[in-house]
Chains A and B, each alone.
Chain A
């Protein structure tokens, strides 16, 4: 007798439809699984047998062959257990086969017959919808996650016997009150109102957030670079629904689902010892890197000069294209990775350059430090903020702004950008190309004169000019100005990163 059940396996961020075929023939008792199964799937034999027996069903003492189709894609993880068990019960005549055709089953089995939830439920629910199946049967723990997909029915099966009941046409289990996902809005992190002083840096941060500009914070130790960077997520506008689904899907697969749709933009701050594989992914099949986890959010690299060069070089592709292709010997995958890069660094190896007499670095130390920073990565940074050790500011003075107020301004500016750029396929100023800059960011006469003078005096390269224009456009948006004016260009010029040509102070 042959029976089929539908389930899904997760490969990176992709889901793949898997049909579990179980065939039972007379012969010596055996249970074989074929179809590129990994260790976790092969172990399913043991789990399924125990779960079937402990749920009070019969485990046929005949020759059982299970095939996971299609046979050419590797299957991973324990999520196939439930489908395997149900197909086996159907093949042995203990379960009618009809509903298996329209139901997807996803879950790991415990030896006692309970169904356990697996990572990636949201992705599986979306795939269920795409595959044209009507119902997804899964453990209660992740039911809320699956219910984010509106067009499918979600049936909860806390035990194998409940799944059998559902497949016989009965009701599923009810959702336990303890299941995670009761709209837990994650706190948006620390607030900008905790920052005292550093008004210049706070303003620059708001500009960066408003335009999605990659930015660099530079300053001596203890001036609050990390403190400021950690507050960026709190001033970014909330995720739109499609963005939120993308983010939640990634969280779901990596097991970081916090319940409900993600509402706060991700903020990832990997330690500087991270490897290239850790940053972009691909350490093993299906392993996603920090850039993917930062998708639609912020990637913060503290102590930029301490990062390994290959790791930083690997950031070029995601910074340019908003996605990262990981190609390894066994697998390859393309992941979404559109994030805002925020980096922090000391101005020199000792950290005190420009801070009176404290800097003990020689000129060659400075040159080496600059060399470590410069290059392809800094080429993609739109604005640089220097934080200063400001002894004069008072810790009791009023903060410049709060996260809520800043977020409102940022959201306003982003709406203006989105309206202007709606036909161009991008949503923030940071992603404007030359053509869009010509159309949307041409400055007024005085501003144009400033730019021309900067170009002629060699302070600005062609690429540098584009960066200045992008930032100027954002500043204009923040100030509610339709036109880019001289003061916006002037401020953008003051925030521009040093171009490579003038890297050396002397020559």
Chain B
């Protein structure tokens, strides 16, 4: 691992690492094909440029080899506001500096900020792309609590759980890192643009691919390996019991990082994956307190910014909150036994305004914090 040539004084990425990034973008098609086997994809990403070309380039090998030889770093000139940094630079996050990690990063938000973010403990909150309202609220409250305690929250932009977590962390102006599955300028999903912008204002967005590279299936898998490396602790909030949904957790486990999962109802398929993780020894996380304990040990600082209001609730609100948590989560169910309908609606509204309940799908209410 010798430092390569530096193309210019200001650039923090050497030519060989920039070339790697360019090459991955060129090989997007073949890599996408290999993506059907995630393990093989991760192995491929560890190969050197030459071996990678031999393994996947096929008929384009000659052409790409000669293009590699002629590679000019200006071919991958980053977009406005994006800085490149490679693993030969001292400011490169050490957590990423292993053979399976990315060779270089394009960073939106500034290298100094990235340094500050990766120097604090980082928790990745990941999960299903088809999350339920329960999962969303859990991810949000978990991220809110962690971010308020100064922990950096990391997550992608494609799965609903990670998006909810980033939104939750931003609610308390917390530290956030997101990994974009493609070029920083083009690969953000349309529906996430406003979130992406907000992350960019106070946190960082990372990508190992050059600007202009569109998102592909394999870039998701590639992004998951970056997120798993960034975080000391990976929390799966809600995931189906399928290899695709658990891929991030598997990578973190393989790296020896702590993996935790939030339980759901055992009857819910949406939590099947997290239950499988828990069965296989993942730590159980009910809320920010548990996650902080996993990060810092028993001397964990008290989770800041948590709704202490929960403890000083009026009995009637407490009662409604408990019943919603236990499954009577619609006005209809709350008043089934003939209780005062107006009172129940008032209590639900008050709890929503206190930030203890949120509206879920189909008129249901979802507790925003786990029951203490």
Contact = CB atoms under 8 A, between A and B. Distances in A.
Interface stretch (B98-106, B228-236, B250-258, B342-350): B342-350
Given A357-B268, A493-B352, A200 B335 contact: yes
B359 A364 contact: no
A218 B353 CA distance: 23
Nearest to B353: A453
B362 A494 contact: no
The SS class assigned to the B binding surface is: helix
Interface in A354-377: 354-357, 359, 362-364, 366-367
Contact of B192 (A490, A493, A507): A507
B131 A353 contact: no
Nearest to B363: A386
Contacts of B164: 505-506
B39 interface: no
Contacts of B191: 364, 367, 504, 507
B194 to A, nearest CB: 6
B52 to A, nearest CB: 33
Contact of B163 (A386, A454, A507): A507
A252 interface: no
B156 interface: no
Interface stretch (B14-22, B57-65, B201-209, B325-333): B325-333
A200 B361 contact: no
A486 B333 contact: no
Interface string A194-205: 000111110100
Given A363-B160, A386-B330, A507-B194, A354 B341 contact: no
Contacts of B364: 354, 386, 388
A346 to B, nearest CB: 9
B342 A388 contact: no
B163 A506 contact: yes
A491 B349 contact: yes
Contacts of A393: 336
Interface residues of B, number: 41
B239 interface: no
A376 to B, nearest CB: 21
Nearest to B332: A200
B294 interface: no
Contacts of A356: 267-268
Given A198-B332, A506-B160, A507-B167, A362 B347 contact: no
B136 interface: yes
A356 B350 CA distance: 25
Contacts of B345: 487, 490-491, 493-495
B240 to A, nearest CB: 10
A347 B364 CA distance: 11
B290 to A, nearest CB: 23
A218 B363 contact: yes
A459 interface: yes
Given A354-B362, A457-B355, A487-B346, A494 B269 contact: no
Interface in B353-368: 353, 355, 359-364
Given A200-B332, A362-B129, A364-B191, A487 B343 contact: yes
Interface string A56-79: 000000000000000000000000
Interface string A324-365: 000000000000000000000001100001111101001110
Interface string B36-64: 00000000000000000000000000000
B349 A359 contact: no
A335 to B, nearest CB: 36
A490 B362 contact: no
Nearest to B365: A494
Contacts of A197: 332
A486 B346 contact: yes
B293 interface: no
A408 B62 CA distance: 86
Given A353-B362, A363-B130, A363-B160, A459 B335 contact: no
A349 to B, nearest CB: 12
Interface string A462-482: 000000000000010001000
Contacts of B185: none
Contact of B362 (A388, A392, A488): A388
B244 to A, nearest CB: 13
A199 to B, nearest CB: 6
A220 interface: yes
Given A457-B355, A494-B345, A363 B363 contact: no
B133 interface: yes
Contacts of B276: none
A488 B29 CA distance: 60
Given A388-B363, A453-B353, A454-B353, A354 B163 contact: no
B77 to A, nearest CB: 31
A490 B364 CA distance: 16
B270 interface: yes
A356 to B, nearest CB: 8
Contact of B349 (A357, A388, A450, A507): A450
Given A200-B332, A203-B341, A386-B330, A494 B349 contact: yes
A353 B195 CA distance: 24
A491 B348 CA distance: 8
A440 to B, nearest CB: 20
15 contacts: A199-B335, A347-B362, A357-B269, A390-B336, A393-B336, A459-B353, A490-B348, A491-B342, A491-B345, A491-B349, A493-B345, A494-B352, A506-B136, A506-B167, A507-B195
Interface of B: 129-131, 133, 136, 160, 163-164, 167, 191-192, 194-195, 267-270, 330-333, 335-336, 341-343, 345-350, 352-353, 355, 359-364
Given A367-B191, A490-B347, A491-B349, 12 more contacts: A197-B332, A347-B363, A354-B133, A388-B362, A390-B333, A459-B353, A487-B342, A487-B343, A491-B341, A491-B346, A494-B348, A506-B195
Interface of A: 197-201, 203, 218-220, 347-348, 353-357, 359, 362-364, 366-367, 384-388, 390, 392-393, 450, 453-454, 457, 459, 475, 479, 486-491, 493-495, 498, 504-507
- 7 tightest A-B contacts by CB? A386-B363, A354-B362, A490-B346, A354-B361, A493-B349, A491-B345, A353-B361
